[in-house]
Chains A and B, each alone.
Chain A
Amino acid sequence: MKRLLRAGLALALATTMPMTALAQHGGGGHPSEGGGGARPAPAPAARPAPAPAARPVQPGFSLPHDVARPAPAYPARPSAPSAGRPIAPGSHSAVPAPGRPSYRAPQPLPRNYRGPVVGNPQHWGGWGWNHGRAWYPAPIYWGGGFWGPYALGALTGALLLGSIIDYPDQIIYPSYQVQPLTPGAQLLQDYNLTQTPCGPPNLVVIWGPGDSVICAYPNNMVSAGNYQVDPTTLSLVSSPTPPQQ
C-alpha cells in the first residue's frame, strides 16, 4: 500500500513540476533554442529586462467611450416598437379599414377577445417550437427579433419588403424580409407560407411583436386576412371582423 502511495506522489510531482517550470520560463529547454545539444548552453544574454509599461492598466473593464457619454437617440422612424413590451396573444389586431382591406394598422383588441385560431400544423404546445424555452422580444430589434436580428438603429431601405399603410392615422408600418433560422421563419415553414412584399390586397398579413408586420401568399391552410401570432404555440390568430359602415 505504501508503494501505491509513493507512486501516486511521484506521479503528482512528475505531472506538476514540468508544467510549472514551462509556465515560469516560457518554454525553456526547447531544442531549437540550444537546450538539447552536447554543448554547454550559452550564457543568457545580458539584455536588460523590458521596462514595465508606463501607463497603469485600469482594473476591470475599460469602455471609456461608452460610459462617459449618453447614448445617442435612435433616428426617428414611425411605429418604433415599445421597448420591452412582452408579447401578449391578442394584444393587437389589424382591422382593415372599410374599402381598404389589409391596409389598416392594428388596433387594440376587445378585452377577452378570442379570435379563430388557425392551429399550427406541428401542434406545438408549451413553447415546444422553441424546445420548451419561453420566447420574449428583445426591445431594440424590429419585431423584438422574432423575424430576424434587425436592429432598429441599423434598418435601411435596402432591407424593406413592402409596408402596410394606416391611412386614417397616417402611419406606415414597414415590413422586412424574414431571416432563416428565426421563429418567424419557422412560423412560415410550419404553415407552408411564402413571404411576399406587403402592399397588394388579398394577402395573409401577420402582425408580430412590437407592431411588426409581414405578408405572405394565402394557401389552403391560411386564407387572406389579418392575423397575429400566439408565440406560445406559434399559431396564427385571426383578427376580428372589421366594423361595417
Chain B
Amino acid sequence: MSFKKCALALAAVFCVLATLAPGAADASGVVRVQQSDGSVREYPQTAMRWTGQTLWLHSADGKGVLEITTAACSYAVNLVRCLPYAITLHQNGAKRSIAVAHGTIYMNFSTEAHRVPYSSESLAAHHLLVAIRTQHGTYITVRGHVDEVKE
C-alpha cells in the first residue's frame, strides 16, 4: 500500500472517530428556563450562533429557535457585555415575541478564559453567559460554547 493511500485511510479513520466520539460534534449550549410558577426545564445540546449582535439558540431537536437581539455591547475588562432587549421565538412555523424586562450577556471572544466582572464565574474561550428576565417573570439563562461567530 502506498503512503498516500495509507494517509487517506488514516484520515478516514479519524473522521469516523470524530463522528462517533460522544459530544465531539455536539452543541454544548444549555438553556435553562424557569417559569414564573417555579417550574424549570433545561435544554441541553443547544446550538448557539452569534451574528452581529444577535444570538441564535437552536434547540437540540431542531424544532425551535430563540433569537435574542442585543445592543449596547461594550467591553467589560476582557469580556464583551451586551444588553438584550428583544426575544423572538421561531417555532411551529410562527414567530412570537417575548418581552424582555432586563438581562445581561457576557461573551468571551478571546482565546483564553476570563473572569466575569464581580463574579467568581469564569468564561472559557468562545463561551457565553446569558441571564434574562422576561416581563412575565420567566428567567432564561444560557451558557456554553458558541458554535459559530459572525461579527
Known contacts A69-B136, A182-B74; decide if A151 and B102 are in contact (CB<8 Å).
yes
Are A65 and B35 in contact, with the CB atoms below 8 A? yes
Are A136 and B1 in contact, with the CB atoms below 8 A? no
Are B21 and A151 in contact, with the CB atoms below 8 A? no
Give 1 or 0 for each of B99-143: 1 = CB within 8 Å of chain A CB: 111101000000000000100000000000000001111100000
Q: Which residues of A contact B75 (CB under 8 A)?
A: 130-131, 133
Q: Which residues of A contact B89 (CB under 8 A)?
A: 60-61, 63, 66-67
Known contacts A66-B138, A140-B102; decide if A5 and B85 are in contact (CB<8 Å).
no
Which residues in chain A, 170-221, are within 8 Å of chain B measured between CB atoms?
180-183
A54 at interface (Cβ–Cβ under 8 A)? Answer: no
B6 at interface (Cβ–Cβ under 8 A)? Answer: yes
Give 1 or 0 for each of B46-69: 1 = CB within 8 Å of chain A CB: 000000010001010101111000
Q: Which residues of B contact A66 (CB under 8 A)?
A: 89, 96, 98-99, 134-136, 138
- Tell me the bound Cα distance from A208 to B102 in angstroms: 20
Known contacts A69-B136, A154-B102, A181-B77; decide if A8 and B9 are in contact (CB<8 Å).
yes
Are A138 and B83 in contact, with the CB atoms below 8 A? yes
- Tell me the bound Cα distance from A15 to B13 in angstroms: 11
Give 1 or 0 for each of B6-37: 1 = CB within 8 Å of chain A CB: 10011001101100111000000001010111
Give 1 or 0 for each of A5-34: 1 = CB within 8 Å of chain B CB: 100110010011001100100000000000
Chain B proximity of A3: nearest CB distance (Å) = 10
Give 1 or 0 for each of A37-62: 1 = CB within 8 Å of chain B CB: 00000000000000000000001111
- Tell me the bound Cα distance from A137 to B73 in angstroms: 8
- Tell me the bound Cα distance from A149 to B118 in angstroms: 14
Q: Tally chain B residues at the interface, Cβ within 8 Å.
A: 59
Chain B proximity of A186: nearest CB distance (Å) = 8
Are B36 and A151 in contact, with the CB atoms below 8 A? no
Chain B proximity of A111: nearest CB distance (Å) = 27
- Tell me the bound Cα distance from A63 to B137 in angstroms: 11
- Tell me the bound Cα distance from A61 to B88 in angstroms: 11
- Measuring CB to CB, which residues of chain A are less than 8 angstroms from any residue of chain B? 1-2, 4-5, 8-9, 12, 15-16, 19-20, 23, 59-67, 69, 71-72, 130-131, 133, 135-141, 144-146, 149, 151, 153-154, 180-183
B81 at interface (Cβ–Cβ under 8 A)? Answer: yes
Q: Which residues of A contact B104 (CB under 8 A)?
A: 149
Are A2 and B1 in contact, with the CB atoms below 8 A? yes
Are A59 and B61 in contact, with the CB atoms below 8 A? yes
- Tell me the bound Cα distance from A151 to B99 in angstroms: 12
What are 21 of the A-B contact pairs (CB < 8 Å)?
A15-B21, A59-B61, A59-B63, A59-B64, A60-B59, A60-B63, A61-B91, A63-B138, A65-B37, A66-B135, A130-B73, A138-B70, A138-B72, A140-B102, A145-B71, A145-B72, A146-B72, A151-B102, A153-B135, A154-B101, A181-B81
